[in-house]
């Protein structure tokens, strides 16, 4: 993608509506504008959730593309909590690595 296309995609991913300010953005620096998109879908028997988040995280001088995919979550909220924990832990470990 050229610079103009990347800028366009970043602008789209920064347009986050109320209620969707969750996900991999939890791994970013406090106060940073999230650049992400999230998705969720109930499915299966019993009704288990697939909850996903993809975004750009800026932390400690690093720009990272972070994707967390889940499946089989008992609730959407459980999936969100898991995504935020995995993203924060993974990015934290990466930016501290030598």
At residue 96, the pLDDT reads 82
- Give the integer Cα–Cα distance in Å for 51 and 68: 9
pTM equals 0.88
Q: Is the peptide bond before 54 cis (omega within 30 degrees of 0)?
A: no
How is the chain split into domains, by residue range?
3-96
- Give the integer Cα–Cα distance in Å for 54 and 24: 6
Contact 22, 52 (CB under 8 A): no
Per-residue model confidence as pLDDT tens digits over 39-83? 999 876 678 999 999 999 998 888 999 999 999 999 999 999 999
CA dihedral angle for residue 62, residue 55, residue 53, residue 27, rounded to 10 degrees: 30
* C-alpha to C-alpha distances, 69 to 32, 52, 64, 90, nearest whole angstrom: 22, 5, 16, 13
Q: Is the peptide bond before 84 cis (omega within 30 degrees of 0)?
A: no
Per-residue model confidence as pLDDT tens digits over 12-36? 999 998 888 999 999 998 888 889 9
């Amino acid at each position: 993608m050229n610079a103009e296309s990347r800028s366009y995609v970043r602008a789209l991913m920064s347009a986050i509506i109320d209620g969707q300010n969750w996900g991999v953005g939890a791994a970013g620096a406090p106060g940073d504008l999230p650049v992400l998109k999230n998705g969720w879908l109930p499915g299966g028997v019993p009704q288990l959730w697939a909850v996903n988040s993809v975004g750009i995280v800026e932390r400690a001088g690093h720009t990272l593309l972070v994707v967390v995919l889940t499946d089989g979550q008992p609730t959407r909220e459980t999936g969100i909590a898991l995504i935020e924990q995995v993203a924060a832990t993974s990015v934290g470990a990466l930016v501290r690595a030598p």
